[in-house]
A and B are shown apart, each in its own frame.
Chain A
Amino acid sequence: MHKVIKPPRGLTNVDFAEMWEYRELLGFLAWRDVVVRYKQTAAGILWAFIRPFITMVIFTVVFGRIAKLPAEGVPYAVLTFTALLPWQFFATAFGETANSVLGNGHMISKIYFPRLILPLASMAVGAADSVVSFLFLFGIMAYYRVMPSPHIWALPLFALLCTVFTIGLGLWFAALYVKYRDVRHLIPFITQFGLYLSPVAFSSTIVPARWRFLYSLNPMVAVIDGMRWSLLGTASLYAPGVAAGCVVSVVLLVTGVIYFKQTERIFADLI
């Protein structure tokens, strides 16, 4: 076994073979985050449900009852909860990912491992919460007697889109956060305002047609529309919007990986 340590030159490639070598570490870190999260809060698993549930109730009352926004023919509660599910995943996983490098700073400055493992592992908490919420979603659908639509086959594809977008944005912020500490204030800003910019509390059909494409540059629009379409069978998808969401997500992922790899060289010096 021969390893050479020398100064970096140009763009660094992702060493997939090495990532594979460290797959157990990825698993352990993901498992640690999930276990710790559910150990620390007594109502751990319940918490994954309570938050979206209360939000759903508020949105249903405010947007469905008071503002009387259209519900695309499904109960308003089901409409919002279906959107809250990917949104909660994004908000949790993005927050965890963005904080993953700095939050594990003591590891970065004391030992080597492929740094990309940290943001990847920190997606696990969001994923675990989502699994719990999914079960509740089916419960709510059963309560309102909403049958899953025949498009349900597409659900994993939209889940994948949501994951790609979250990792991409998360990688950018994880690396930025190490270099610029005021990014910390930007992260909650994105997850709080994003909630109202994305069609979580309402249907994206209320966006005027001429703004629809611009609106769809936010990949969460495609994710949420897609989730509703594949699960609830709401009105047909806005194809250019889905395409835009996919392109934006992939671009974010690719540039995110590049930026992360370029910045990781100085992580240990900055932390």
Chain B
Amino acid sequence: MAEIIVAQGVGKMYRLGEALAYRVLRERIAELIAAPFRRRGNGPGDEILWALKDVDFTINESEVIGLIGKNGAGKSTLLKILSRITEPTEGRIDLYGKASSLLEVGIGFHPELSGRENIYLNGAILGMSRQEIRGKFDELVEFAEISRFLDTPVKRYSSGMYVRLAFAVAAHLEPDILIVDEVLAVGDAAFQRKCLGKMRSMRSQGRTVILVSHTMPTISSLCQKVIWLDGGRVRAIGPTAAIISQYLNEGVQNDLVWSPRHSSHREFEYHSVSVVAANARDDNQDFFPADAAIDVIYDFTVTETLPAARLFLQLRNELGETLFVSSSADGRGGRITPMTPGRRKMGCRIPGNFLAPGRYSITVNHPFGTYDTIHENIITFTVNEQNSTVPRENPEAKLAPLLEWRDV
């Protein structure tokens, strides 16, 4: 089989303080004026972080490759370099084919535009020509199951419809190389099966797919080969089953804390999102007992008042099925308290005796003034059988709430 992607010595360096130091033009100008009078020294801005270092790999035509690793291992950075969103600091990658990337579905969707208009817009953003979209239009609309709402502005769509439409456009891309980030983990179970089916058919059509996922079942069922990134370096490359078992044996692959690598310099900035047991007896817990309440803590700074900002918590199980979505505006009768400037911590408590034993992932939103971005599956944690009220031999059940039973 012919080689289609060859990466040699790829590295990406971030200067952690750099962007922060030059945020304000006024200060930059003052600095330029002061520069001749000051020795060039190591400022606080010279802290260096290699998000990727010495990454080598070769991918052959029509392989489906899984990219795994913990938060901060460099998966997103590698995807961004492969998608040409950001440039590497060193090394080189040769791509022998047309590459398309899907780091998010529905990029460029505008709420005021109709479904039909958004299909064309999103298609163009993904690199499809108008003619190509027109040719696939009917098929695409059927896939998304939205034919009745084609001319309705997407702001009136349910979130399910929105996601189906967004994914439908993406699923009809026909590149030689497809780069996918966690986007399969959207929609309901039935729609996910459809998407997985689509991915399999891409493989059978001889397309090359690179897929990042935290959900090992997805990786196992789709990929022949896995690249395991650890601390910005390639830890192992090889057949899926072998690498995944090695990865899982490494220890519990939980990511209990997430903090963005560099700040976004926007109205809203995350310091971290983390999960802790509500009455933690020791800090260093790998598992949550089934009866323990779990606090999801959002630590963030708001730099200007955000009148309509709210936080979301989306919980998925290991199969990628969404169990619930909760919002900080729930139960307030639609009234949202504006977020005022300052550093804040907010917590969302998932009660004990509610989740069944198993692994879960958390997706949060990043509210900006005008739109939200989504951070998918940034946290994974495990609820174990300890103090469990529901035995595991009931695989039908996705939740294990402790409910009240009494004579009435």
Inter-chain pairs besides A111-B85, A182-B23, A268-B86, 12 sampled, C-beta below 8 Å: A5-B87, A6-B88, A6-B93, A7-B90, A28-B125, A32-B117, A36-B113, A106-B107, A110-B107, A112-B101, A181-B265, A182-B26
Q: Which 6 A-B pairs have the closest CB atoms?
A: A180-B25, A112-B84, A6-B92, A5-B93, A28-B124, A268-B86
Q: Is the CB of A5 within 8 A of B81?
A: yes
CB-CB contacts below 8 Å: A168-202 with B: 176, 179-183, 186
How far is it, in angstroms, between the C-alpha of A116 and the C-alpha of B90 when the chains are bound?
25
How far is it, in angstroms, between the C-alpha of A40 and the C-alpha of B370 when the chains are bound?
15
- Asked whether B22 is an interface residue with its Cβ less than 8 Å from the other chain, the reply is yes
Q: Is the CB of B113 within 8 A of A107?
A: no
Report B124-136 CB contacts with A as 1/0, cut-off 8 Å: 1111011000000
Q: Given that A181-B24, A181-B265 are known contacts, is A5 also in contact with B84, CB under 8 Å in the complex?
A: yes
Contacts of B371 in A (CB 8 A): 106
Chain B residue with minimal CB distance to A270? B19
- Asked whether A43 is an interface residue with its Cβ less than 8 Å from the other chain, the reply is no
- Asked whether B247 is an interface residue with its Cβ less than 8 Å from the other chain, the reply is no
| Partner of B104 from A4, A110, A182, A186 at Cβ < 8 Å | A110
Tell me, rounded to whole Å, the shortest Cβ–Cβ distance linking B211 to chain A: 16
How far is it, in angstroms, between the C-alpha of A5 and the C-alpha of B262 when the chains are bound?
23
Chain A residue with minimal CB distance to B303? A181
CB-CB contacts below 8 Å: A31-66 with B: 32, 35-36, 39-40
- Asked whether B335 is an interface residue with its Cβ less than 8 Å from the other chain, the reply is no
How far is it, in angstroms, between the C-alpha of A8 and the C-alpha of B264 when the chains are bound?
23
- Asked whether A68 is an interface residue with its Cβ less than 8 Å from the other chain, the reply is no
| Partner of B87 from A7, A179, A271 at Cβ < 8 Å | A7
How far is it, in angstroms, between the C-alpha of A3 and the C-alpha of B101 when the chains are bound?
15
| Partner of A269 from B86, B91, B95, B127 at Cβ < 8 Å | B86
A residues near B, CB below 8 A?
A: 1-8, 24-25, 27-29, 32, 35-36, 39-40, 103-104, 106-113, 176, 179-183, 186, 265, 268-271
CB-CB contacts below 8 Å: B201-230 with A: none
- Asked whether B168 is an interface residue with its Cβ less than 8 Å from the other chain, the reply is no
Chain A residue with minimal CB distance to B90? A7
Tell me, rounded to whole Å, the shortest Cβ–Cβ distance linking B365 to chain A: 12
Q: Given that A4-B93, A180-B22 are known contacts, is A106 also in contact with B373, CB under 8 Å in the complex?
A: yes
- Asked whether B330 is an interface residue with its Cβ less than 8 Å from the other chain, the reply is no
How far is it, in angstroms, between the C-alpha of A180 and the C-alpha of B124 when the chains are bound?
30
How far is it, in angstroms, between the C-alpha of A103 and the C-alpha of B120 when the chains are bound?
20
Contacts of A24 in B (CB 8 A): 124, 129-130
Contacts of A270 in B (CB 8 A): 19, 265
Q: Given that A1-B98, A110-B107 are known contacts, is A183 also in contact with B125, CB under 8 Å in the complex?
A: no
CB-CB contacts below 8 Å: B62-86 with A: 80-86
Q: Is the CB of A109 within 8 A of B113?
A: no
Contacts of A5 in B (CB 8 A): 81-82, 84, 87-88, 92-95
Q: Is the CB of A112 within 8 A of B87?
A: no
Contacts of A179 in B (CB 8 A): 22, 25
Q: Is the CB of A111 within 8 A of B83?
A: yes
Q: Is the CB of A111 within 8 A of B28?
A: no
Contacts of B95 in A (CB 8 A): 2-5
Q: Is the CB of A36 within 8 A of B110?
A: yes
Q: Is the CB of B103 within 8 A of A110?
A: yes
How far is it, in angstroms, between the C-alpha of A68 and the C-alpha of B86 when the chains are bound?
58
Tell me, rounded to whole Å, the shortest Cβ–Cβ distance linking A260 to chain B: 15
How far is it, in angstroms, between the C-alpha of A24 and the C-alpha of B85 when the chains are bound?
20
CB-CB contacts below 8 Å: B155-203 with A: 176
